[in-house]
Structure 1
Amino acid sequence: MTATVLSRAMIALVCSTSMAGFAAPALAQSAPQATETTDSNAIVVSARRRDETLQETPVAITAINAAMLEGKASVTIGDLQGDAPNLLITQQNSGAQAANIAIRGLSFANIEKSSTPTVGVVVDGVMMGTSTGQLQDFFDIDQIEVMRGPQGTLFGANTIGGVINIQRSKPTMRTGAKLEASYGRWNSWNTKAVVNVGNGSTLGLKLWYFHNQSDGFYYNANTKRSAGGSKNDAYGASLLFKPTSGQFDAQLTVENVHQKFDPTVSNLTSAAEGFSAFMPAVEVGRNTTNDLYTVFTSPAQSSYNAPAVTFQMNLDTDIVKLTAITGWRHSSEFQTQDFDGSSTNIYFSQRAQTYTQWSQELRAAGKIVEGLDYVVGSFLFDSEFTLTADTFVFGGNTGTNVINGKTRSIAFFGDFNWSVADTVRVSFGGRWSEDRRQLSNDYPTTLGRIGDGSKTFRKFTPKIGIDWRPNRDTMVYASWSRGYRSGGFSPRAMTAATASTPYYPETVDSFEIGTKLDLFDRKLTFNVAGFYSKYKDMQQDVTLPGGPQGSQTITGNIGSADIKGLEIESTWRPVRGLKFSATVALLDTQFKGFIANNAYGAGLVPFDYSNNRMIYAPSFSGSLSGEYTAQTSFGSVVTAIGLRHISPYDEQISAASITPVMAGTVVQKVNVNGNDPRVRTVTQDLLDASVTANFKLHGADAYVRVYGRNLADIRTTTHAFTVAGLWSFGAALEPRSYGATLGVKF
């Protein structure tokens, strides 16, 4: 089936569902099932730090429960890509468990810990401070909430794109276990174990272990072996204490992650680039589809160790609910990588890094008077890191670079709902944040201190919204919110002047209108959101001459962008056991005044990137899925099939070609004619399917599942980069894969 046919089929089904949605009034359910209320289909979410049903929450949010991801044998949260409108998650293999996450065209594709993501990943109430570790392993997850648009009021700075809120299962306080093993293509296999014990009411202990490994789906033509393999182990324990009064509970979670992987890249260098002359001809000028999967890199390695502790306490009185969440995370990494992607020893890096973060959040929630509720709180965050990096160019070490960074953030926030009439509610709030950033850059054995900087940034991020519920089946809402991403210093700056010059915060003002409809006697939900975002003072990287390597990459505030979009989500349950879901996302992005000074000839010249496409921002994406549960004599059989469509998008601000604008014999500026086509994906129609047989085994619930991912065998990049006209490299999407799972629960 061609991409065009698949796309047309998707649009047709969504449109037919949409027309049905306007045909009659009534109730219904939204996306996938999760935590249940008295309405068995009502999904409870905590997007606004309150427990609310999905359809009562006046924000654009998608809730995804564990069963959806288990059905396609997901290994990481990267398989969420396409299941929520305008959400992309790809792996950044320059760092351990590092993710490139984009929501509504706002993305972050950098592993440096001095920089902060645009999308926050929150695990059991604790925000992850860097992109490393964000690509969470999928195990023991109860529900994932994807909140689109700035979430600065309740979740703080560095959530200008949105938040992915991950909630893992709590100890059940009863004896039981879930055991699972899977095997699939690429000699991939994983095992999962979750064991619960407890006294049934006041004390429960949950233990878990997750192992997953793969030989990798690349083929190294030099070693004649598979490449890109990985081995991950995650384990931990969670203790839950609930006194008999029921008003207080405390949960302590201790965990660790070990990861080893082969950081493989594909060679995308063209014959026109400088380093191509040093590479064998067969390794140059390769395409960005099938050629990606044969690589020529030198052996490399990556190891990652990340222990963490989370402690949460809740006290729920008749007047107020108090919550305290303490989080500590530490990581140590060592990684070597052959970045030129060729068999020639041209550009090789070695990085050793440690990172520690500590956070404390205190919240109070309750009602001031009937019809006016609140969530208020404070937040404290500290982090520090040390990076020791060696870069080898043609075998020679350019010097050991040591970078140290610290961040200290404090914030106070409040969020209020006021029912001004029986059917009208006003939501308002804000957050005041202060972020202090420090960075030093040294070459201890050669150049000494390059430079350092320290700067404090302060920002108030307000939000206001209104929603109208003319009946219990319909909600219409509108909102405005502001998000901001903290400033900082450039870790790759290589002169005293650039190392001590900060870049400043960027902000997003987002306007959104939407409706949430429950229709056909709780058989159909239809949710629509339209938005316009003004992205100001964008933090963008530019390459300048200077430093021991001859060039340096610094971050600056350059230009702005307008982002517009439309999102549709719909779920239809025509009969018991049958469910259809569909999403559609339209996105239009436009840079404004994106002009950066870049090296050109013997000096610096303004480069105008205003006509380039924003990265990780496909103009159209969507999904279709169906699930049918058939009852049998031995149990049930669940058949699921899903299609995720993602139109082409770019992965780096780069130059396809340039046009100098002359004033006589002087170059006045340079117009950039779009991004390099090698950093653009092809259309992705990702077809996934699974069949699960559920049955009893000696009194326990058992299941066998066969699954397939990317059954259409789409081949393209997930990350691609060109380096200053010297060489280019990329990473590949996993091709068609399949396997089987055996599990038991008791």
Structure 2
Amino acid sequence: MRNILKAALGSAAAIAMAAPAWSQQVAAAPDNDLLPDIVVTAERRESRLQETPISITALGAAQLENQGVRTVGDLAATVPNLTSTTGPQGSADANFFVRGVGQFDFIITNDPGVGVYVDGVYLGRTVGALLDSSDIARVEVLRGPQGTLFGRNTLGGAISITTRQPEIGALSGQGRATYGSRDRIDLDASLNVPLGDRAALRVSGVTRNQDGFSRNPRTGVVFGRTERLGGKAALLFEATEALTVTLSADYSLDKSNPAPAVLLDILPLPFFPADARADLFNPNDFYRSFASNSPEARNEIYGFSGTIAYDFGGATLKSITAYRNLDSFSTSDPDGTGYRLYDQQATTVQNQFSQELQLSGSLLDDKLEYLLGAYYFREDADQTLFLCFAPITPLPTARGNACNTWTQGNAQITNSYAVFGQARYKTEGGFSLTLGGRYTWEDKDIVSNQLFDFRPAGFEAAPGMVVPGFPAPIVTDLASSLSFRKFTPKIGLEYAPNRDLLVFASYAKGFRSGGFNGRIIAPQASVPSYAPDTNDTFELGFKSDIVPGVLRTNITAFYSKYKGIQQTISDPAVQFRVANAGNAELYGFEAEVALNPVRGLRFNAGIGYTSSSFEDVPVNVGPINGNRLPFSPEWTVALGGEYRVDLGNFALTPRVDWRFQSRTFFTAFNLPLEQQDPYGLLAARITLTDADDRFSLAVYGENLADAKYFTFGQNALQAQGVAYNYIGRPREFGVTAGFKF
């Protein structure tokens, strides 16, 4: 660890010492494009990125478009030490990992380890959280625990999304249309309408459609289709010079189906068809899948929020009130064969209400900045899991044909309360001290029911009938409650001799409450549960505009103790459960560089390194001591460059991006058939714009080298007799036309 920290900080020091000489060489050619000041809200108030003592990557709307970010899940292609997966069930699920901390399970009894926020509102579920980028103004990826200001389930970090807001006094609008490979047709538009001198309305809408990229050669069924639409309306009202009210409503319907699983291996179990191995994955026909069920997915989401801010002069009081509703259904076939070995359905209905109050301001001639707050969150979630497995007849071809069934229903209510505060005191010499803390109360209540039915098809409607040779249906119905309390502190020391240099050191703690095991494969006397996990992180960082407008370098080194890790594991006795899988030592760095050497030429680079390994693992978890954490590649690299060429009334901007990710394990067991070897994704775009940037025409290519890769997988040979992976998207091309007024 010491060598990694020395390397990261040594690089920062070398760049800092070289800055004066380098500055004299390139020194600000008068026509040089400037690196813009980026305003972020990582500390729940607006501040310059370069003055914010947190490891952050911030991307604006133009960067998102130029780098081909269609959904927030695509951020992993641009942000160091960030990975993501849709997981085993849904095409619209957003499971993020930051520095190895996260969660890939979609079940409602498991909470994410990286929180997703939209305009300050926390999204309680990863299901359906794969948000579209169409009307996003800015995305901030905050690395490291954010338990003080953001709160629950941010022990790995937070993804903070800011949508475009109404603007008073300006009639404006924009639209884009895309046509691409596999009949991709995307349309999005937005309109900002002033309503007098004190109000404005902004409306936006988007639709995404694209054919799938994987096909079952026997049935002709196509997997991986995109079918999504949504819209948002926001009303801004400045009642007085001090009082501002923003009301918003959004709706989205995603019927995209997930990428299919492919079968990597299968054991000769007596209840498996003898010819199931004929459906094994063929790397020479990468996008072929024999999945037995017709892919289905439907995620309908809507929400309302109201933000009220009142400026008292020296302080501002803000209220954020929000309600959200999710209705989700999806199917999957994890085994990837033409037989109904493990067909799964999941139905999720969730609603949440949240209320946050913030009081922020400054005292002592602006030397002391503070933010105080209180938070309440309630979630009501119902989920039904249906698993059809171990076929009784050899060739079931339609839903409902003979198979053993297991149905799990979970109805969970979560109430979370918190009070928090953070203050920073600045001295005359450029030093400042930050202290913060949050106290959280969290209660969870569940009613869990299970139905085990091993009778042949056709007897489901006769619950009292016993079939010779098959056990009678087993039904259990259990209730349980859990309560958790935790204080999460933050301490920071910063030194900023001028606006172009910031050095900071910090300690922060993250916390995720415990929960219930929502998959009870065998009858139980009570609902099994697991304990909270925590993440204590130390950071040492450096941010510098070494040559203002020309070279920007941000480097952060970190060391974390991740304790009581909540991990979904494959267990031969119960198939899948969540366990506290010991502890882990995490250390590494993020380094981001932006360079504008001459007018129109831009380069960006982001490098992340994370070392992770399980330790102190309980015996009943399994042999994972020393293994890497899931979705924690040792290296992530993102390189990009573009050059804007002026052509009189037009400008042409070619851009190239390359993303590399070292070997990634999908589960804690690090088995050979549940990992992705190192791979890179190459993308390019050429954009033609008019002199006023009002019209644009772009040609793009994604995954240009046609890399073949997996996004998730499990070697469940011991628990289920199969090993399977989910396939990633192939190469594609397209053209986008846009306008603004």
Q: Same fold (TM over 0.5)?
A: yes
Shift of 1:429: 0.6
1:264–1:44 CA distance, 2 compared to 1 (3 A): closer
1:509 to 524, 536, 552: 536
**Does the 8 Å contact 1:710/1:736 carry over to 2?**
yes
Please show how residues 587-606 of structure 1 align to structure 2 within 5 Å.
587-597=610-620
2:416 to 393, 409, 422: 409
Q: Aligned pair 1:717/2:713, yes or no?
A: no
Which AA in structure 2 matches 1:432?
Y
Shift of 1:27: 12
**Does the 8 Å contact 2:177/2:738 carry over to 1?**
yes
Report the counterpart of residue 469 of structure 2 in structure 1. none
1:628 to 640, 643, 647: 643
Shift of 1:626: 0.8
Report the counterpart of residue 298 of structure 2 in structure 1. 303
Shift of 1:220: 1.7
**Does the 8 Å contact 2:351/2:381 carry over to 1?**
yes
**Does the 8 Å contact 1:543/1:553 carry over to 2?**
yes
1:302–1:286 CA distance, 2 compared to 1 (3 A): same
Shift of 1:328: 0.9
Structure 2: state its 5+ residue gaps.
1-9, 24-33, 392-401, 452-462, 464-472
Q: Aligned pair 1:218/2:211, yes or no?
A: no
Please show how residues 71-470 of structure 1 align to structure 2 within 5 Å.
71-92=66-87, 94-95=89-90, 97-173=92-168, 174-199=170-195, 201-243=197-239, 245-272=240-267, 274=269, 277-284=273-280, 286-287=282-283, 291-370=286-365, 371-393=367-389, 394=391, 395-443=402-450, 446-470=473-497
Which AA in structure 2 matches 1:330?
N
Which AA in structure 2 matches 1:594?
V
CA distance in 2 between partners of 1:203 and 1:27 (Å) = 48
**Does the 8 Å contact 2:190/2:202 carry over to 1?**
yes
**Does the 8 Å contact 1:478/1:513 carry over to 2?**
yes
Alignment partner of 1:70: what SS?
helix
Alignment partner of 1:268: what SS?
strand
Identity %: 31
Please show how residues 549-588 of structure 1 align to structure 2 within 5 Å.
551-588=574-611
Which AA in structure 2 matches 1:716?
Y
Which AA in structure 1 matches 2:415?
R
Shift of 1:317: 2.2
Shift of 1:638: 1.9
Shift of 1:611: 2.6
Shift of 1:431: 0.2
1:72–1:220 CA distance, 2 compared to 1 (3 A): farther
Kindly provide the CA deviation profile for residues 174-195 of structure 1, in whole angstroms up to 9, marking residues without a partner as x. Answer: 2222111101112211100111
CA distance in 2 between partners of 1:293 and 1:19 (Å) = 51
CA distance in 1 between partners of 2:723 and 2:193 (Å) = 53
Alignment partner of 1:608: what SS?
coil
CA distance in 1 between partners of 2:138 and 2:268 (Å) = 47
CA distance in 1 between partners of 2:586 and 2:52 (Å) = 23
Q: Aligned pair 1:479/2:494, yes or no?
A: no
Report the counterpart of residue 628 of structure 2 in structure 1. 613
CA distance in 2 between partners of 1:284 and 1:677 (Å) = 16
Alignment partner of 1:364: what SS?
strand
Alignment partner of 1:282: what SS?
helix
**Does the 8 Å contact 2:408/2:519 carry over to 1?**
no
1:282–1:745 CA distance, 2 compared to 1 (3 A): same
Please show how residues 15-26 of structure 1 align to structure 2 within 5 Å.
22-25=17-20
CA distance in 2 between partners of 1:296 and 1:468 (Å) = 57
1:584–1:72 CA distance, 2 compared to 1 (3 A): closer
Question: What is the root-mean-square deviation in Å for CA atoms of aligned residues?
Answer: 2.4
CA distance in 2 between partners of 1:457 and 1:508 (Å) = 16
Which segment is superposed worse, 39-48 or 115-124?
39-48
Report the counterpart of residue 394 of structure 2 in structure 1. none
1:53–1:26 CA distance, 2 compared to 1 (3 A): farther
Report the counterpart of residue 703 of structure 1 in structure 2. 696
Which AA in structure 1 matches 2:533?
E
Shift of 1:422: 2.4
1:504–1:17 CA distance, 2 compared to 1 (3 A): closer
Report the counterpart of residue 646 of structure 1 in structure 2. 661
CA distance in 2 between partners of 1:542 and 1:382 (Å) = 28
Kindly provide the CA deviation profile for residues 20-52 of structure 1, in whole angstroms up to 9, marking residues without a partner as x. Answer: 654124999xxxxxxxxxx97211111011211
- TM-score relative to the length of structure 1: 0.88
1:340–1:278 CA distance, 2 compared to 1 (3 A): farther
1:297–1:448 CA distance, 2 compared to 1 (3 A): closer
CA distance in 2 between partners of 1:586 and 1:595 (Å) = 27
Alignment partner of 1:307: what SS?
strand
Q: Aligned pair 1:735/2:730, yes or no?
A: yes
1:545–1:74 CA distance, 2 compared to 1 (3 A): closer
Alignment partner of 2:255: what SS?
strand
Alignment partner of 2:74: what SS?
helix
Which AA in structure 1 matches 2:104?
A
Which AA in structure 1 matches 2:183?
N
Alignment partner of 1:114: what SS?
coil
1:486–1:250 CA distance, 2 compared to 1 (3 A): same
Alignment partner of 2:149: what SS?
helix
**Does the 8 Å contact 2:591/2:608 carry over to 1?**
yes
Q: Between Structure 1 and Structure 2, how many residues are aligned? A: 687
Kindly provide the CA deviation profile for residues 569-628 of structure 1, in whole angstroms up to 9, marking residues without a partner as x. Answer: 111111222211111111111111223426xxxxxxxx3310322111111111111122
CA distance in 1 between partners of 2:132 and 2:619 (Å) = 38
CA distance in 1 between partners of 2:528 and 2:292 (Å) = 36
Alignment partner of 1:466: what SS?
strand
Report the counterpart of residue 10 of structure 1 in structure 2. none
Alignment partner of 1:154: what SS?
coil
